[in-house]
Amino acid sequence: MKSILLTGGAGFIGSHTCLSLLENGYEIFVIDSYINSSRKSLENVLKILKKKYNRNLKNSLNLFEGDLKNVRDIEAVFQKANEVNKSIEAVIHFAGLKSVSESMAYPLCYWENNFYGTINLLKIMEKYNCKNIVFSSSATVYQTKINQLLNERDKCSPVNPYGQTKLAVEKLLKDIYKSAPSEWRIACLRYFNPVGAHESGLIGEAPFGKPNNLFPQITKVAIGIMSEIKIFGSDWPTPDGTGIRDYIHVMDLSEGHISSLNYLLKEKPQMITLNLGTGKGTSVKEFIRTFEKINNVEIPFSFVERRPGDNAFVVADNSFAKSILSWEPSRNIEDICRNGWNWQVMNPDGY
Ligand SMILES: NC(=O)c1ccc[n+]([C@@H]2O[C@H](COP(=O)([O-])OP(=O)(O)OC[C@H]3O[C@@H](n4cnc5c(N)ncnc54)[C@H](O)[C@@H]3O)[C@@H](O)[C@H]2O)c1
């Protein structure tokens, strides 16, 4: 059985990917500082598996509380894995801070966590001869285009510190790959807008404090924790005047990680960059209307000024990912609304 290390594995995307990896027979190691997550997410992953397969996979999930800013915390995981003869074959590197607005207020903190943390991780990976990594990058690295799908060859020019840290890590990975191209297998996955929750309602997105993204705001308004959605701009050059984004169900995204990992491990050493999105755009208004219809709830909204750095249209060209991975998103906006609402109703206060 292959052992995979997930940094930030207790977080939103990490916990759903943990579930998919365990379902696919992988042994998992997780390092998380819990700065933006709860221990309960991975307990619930085990509950889902117990219910579905009547199997207790607790022994396949090895948890370590630790911070990537502390190189010793990372080494402790690799050491432990070696001691128990389960040396780590690959890393999926989710750990990072992800709020655009916070990154503008605290750039040092974002650079230290996202960039320096990755340097520490790569140092230890080299030391333990682990040269396979899947990195959580983001569509925020792109310079956006008007009404055109973004593809991996498009120009990158992030407009905020969060996006800068993601692009900097991609560049660092490129240098590392070039230093030993016959050894490294690297995938940079540029996520578009991951949303929704596992259909069980036991794991989902549980942001600390006021959510920054649209979907958790919609579910918070629906349940009465927030009073309304403030839509940034009503005059974008789109059919209904609101911004268009590419929303991908978190389970489709998590399955994209399994496909990327399988691809990397079976193919020759290489570095690939892939857009993980659906290729379909949904406007803010359409998203709200769909949520209302599917879940029979009302979502009040009002319009405020556009945010600096925002764009009308951010949608993936996902044809490269679809062509090389045996992967394709299979869930739609309705599934996202249904599963996300189920999660919110079952867990009104998060974990
Ligand atoms: N959710 C999105 O919209 C989105 C979009 C594009 C890219 N990403 C990237 O995907 C990754 C996962 O995102 P998510 O939505 O699951 O976020 P999340 O905050 O839910 O998960 C990140 C996890 O990393 C942990 N973490 C952060 N810094 C750490 C450190 N220094 N040491 C150890 N653990 C640390 C957090 O506690 C959390 O559990 C992030 O790198 C994020 O930047 C997310």
Q: Which residue, 89, 27, 98, 96, is CA-closest to 63?
A: 27
Return the ligand 1 atom nearest residue 137 CA: 7
**Higher-confidence position of 207 and 92:** 92
- Smallest CA separation from ligand 1 atom 42, residue: 98
Question: Is the CB of residue 237 less than 8 Å from the CB of residue 312?
Answer: yes
pLDDT tens for residues 256-312?
999 999 999 999 999 999 999 999 999 999 999 999 999 999 999 999 999 887 889
Residues lining ligand 1, judged by CB closer than 6 Å? 8, 10-14, 31-37, 67-69, 94-98, 113, 117, 136, 138, 191, 193-194
Class of domain 3-197+247-277+316-322: alpha beta
30-54: average pLDDT: 96
Tell me, what's the pLDDT at 201? Answer: 97
Tell me, what's the pLDDT at 308? Answer: 80
- Smallest CA separation from ligand 1 atom 38, residue: 11
Is residue 219 very low, low, confident or very high in pLDDT (cuts 50, 70, 90)? Answer: very high
| Catalytic-residue membership of 142 | no
Contacts of 95-99 with C-beta under 8 Å, sequence gap 24+, read 95/7, 95/8, 95/11, 95/31, 95/32, 95/33, 95/68, 96/8, 96/136, 96/165, 96/166, 97/35, 97/36, 97/162, 98/36, 98/138, 98/162, 99/162, 99/212
pLDDT tens for residues 167-218?
999 999 999 999 999 999 999 999 999 999 999 999 999 988 888 899 999 9
- Residue 1, pLDDT > 80, answer no
Per-residue CA distances from 253 to 104, 258, 276, 279 (Å): 27, 9, 7, 13
140-158: average pLDDT: 94
Is residue 123 very low, low, confident or very high in pLDDT (cuts 50, 70, 90)? Answer: very high
- What is the whole-number distance in angstroms between the Cα of residue 238 and the centre of ligand 1? 30
Tell me, what's the pLDDT at 31? Answer: 98
Tell me, what's the pLDDT at 216? Answer: 95
Cα–Cα distance measured from residue 196 to residue 203, given in angstroms and rounded to the nearest whole number:
10
Tell me, what's the pLDDT at 307? Answer: 86
Residues in the chain: 351
Cα–Cα distance measured from residue 95 to residue 11, given in angstroms and rounded to the nearest whole number:
8
Question: Is the CB of residue 12 less than 8 Å from the CB of residue 205?
Answer: yes
Active-site residue identified among 26, 162, 191, 263: 162
For the chain, what percent of residues have pLDDT higher than 90?
A: 94
Q: Tell me the one-letter amino acid at 330.
A: S
- Residue 345, pLDDT > 90, answer yes
